[in-house]
Homo-oligomer: A and B are copies of this chain.
Amino acid sequence: MAGFKHLLIVKFKADCPVDDILNGMEKLVSEIDAVKSFEWGQDIESEEMLRQGFTHAFLMSFHSKEDYTAFVGHPSHVEFSATFSGAIDKIVLLDFPCVFAKASA
């Protein structure tokens, strides 16, 4: 699963409807072909000192940087981004070509 990655680390606002946001995200990526895969999770294990308040990670994979750019500019993404931005307390976002250092079945 090399290619280009779009990674978000998020802390949601206390009063935001997290499930609605998660459903919206899954719907968004399912609709846009440029998104090759989408994995996410909620932290259950890290220590608060290391987690620093962040609770969720979202990782999208693309075949190429061009596919990522197409996703960012997609009207559905632009629309959802506004909703998403309103729901987050803090965020870190990284976009990078992925180095696949180990893969096994």
Contact = CB atoms under 8 A, between A and B. Distances in A.
Interface of A: 1-2, 5, 7, 9, 25-26, 29-30, 35-47, 50-52, 54, 57, 59, 65, 68, 91-104
Contacts of A45: 65, 68, 95-96
Count identical subunits in the complex.
2
Contacts of A36: 104
Contact of A98 (B40, B91, B99): B40
Given A5-B57, A59-B59, A43 B94 contact: yes
Nearest to A93: B50
Q: Which 6 A-B pairs have the closest CB atoms?
A: A41-B96, A45-B95, A50-B93, A38-B102, A43-B94, A26-B101
